[in-house]
Amino acid sequence: MKNKSPLSDIARMLAEIRQDLILQEHEADNLHSQQEHECEEEITEYARRIDEAQVARDDAESEIILLHAEISNLENDIAGKAKQLEILDNREAAIKEQRETDAFNYAARLAQNEEVLSALDLILEKLNSVTPDASAQSVLMQLAKTGPKNPIMALAQLASGFSKESFAKTIEKLSQIRDELESQIAEE
């Protein structure tokens, strides 16, 4: 038993190794437990982030659907407005064309009224130079000399055969017509 001393040393050494192994096992268990806890926390965090991402994705998809509907409504509105604009453009073109026609007709009517006014002035001037109560034969002779090329002179010659009252009434009526036409032109 002389070797008792090294056996006790070996036993002590084995006990120390065992204690060391138990301590290492305990530390490894603690480390493993801590790592499991950290993994669970990370898994929980990743699950939370995934849930948030899914909610955000669902919200985005809902928003996309709403935006597509709004885009469709706006496209329909744009198409309607374009059609209205086309109708208004056509109306504007028709109104412009009608205005041009009206302006042309108005200018033509004014020119014609001015010509009628000038003709009435000329007729009145010629009638005022005529003396009524001429004989029918002298009137016809004067008409034959005037001919069909000067209708105003022919009218003046024909009027010379009127009685004084008829002649005065004719001049008065022509003057009234002239004055009415002149006031109508002034109103326009």
Residue 75 lies in a domain: no
Q: Is the pLDDT of residue 75 over 60?
A: yes
* Contact predicate 137/126, CB 8 Å: no
Residue 49 lies in a domain: no
- pLDDT class of 154 with cuts at 50, 70, 90: low
Q: Is the pLDDT of residue 1 over 50?
A: no
Q: Is the pLDDT of residue 109 over 50?
A: yes
Give the count of domains, the chain: 1
Measured between alpha carbons, how far is 120 from 161 in angstroms, rounded to an integer? 20
Mean pLDDT, all residues of the chain = 82
Measured between alpha carbons, how far is 170 from 11 in angstroms, rounded to an integer? 163
- pLDDT class of 133 with cuts at 50, 70, 90: low
Least confident span in 15-29, 88-102, 140-154: 140-154
Residue 2 lies in a domain: no
Residue 155 lies in a domain: yes
Residue 63 lies in a domain: no
Residue 70 lies in a domain: no
Measured between alpha carbons, how far is 126 from 120 in angstroms, rounded to an integer? 10
The CA distances from residue 20 to 12, 25, 27, 32, 170, in Å, are 12, 8, 10, 17, 150
- pLDDT class of 182 with cuts at 50, 70, 90: confident
Supply the DSSP symbol for 135: -
Residue 143 lies in a domain: yes
Average pLDDT over residues 133-147: 54
- pLDDT class of 144 with cuts at 50, 70, 90: low
Domain with 120 in it: 102-187
Residue 138 lies in a domain: yes
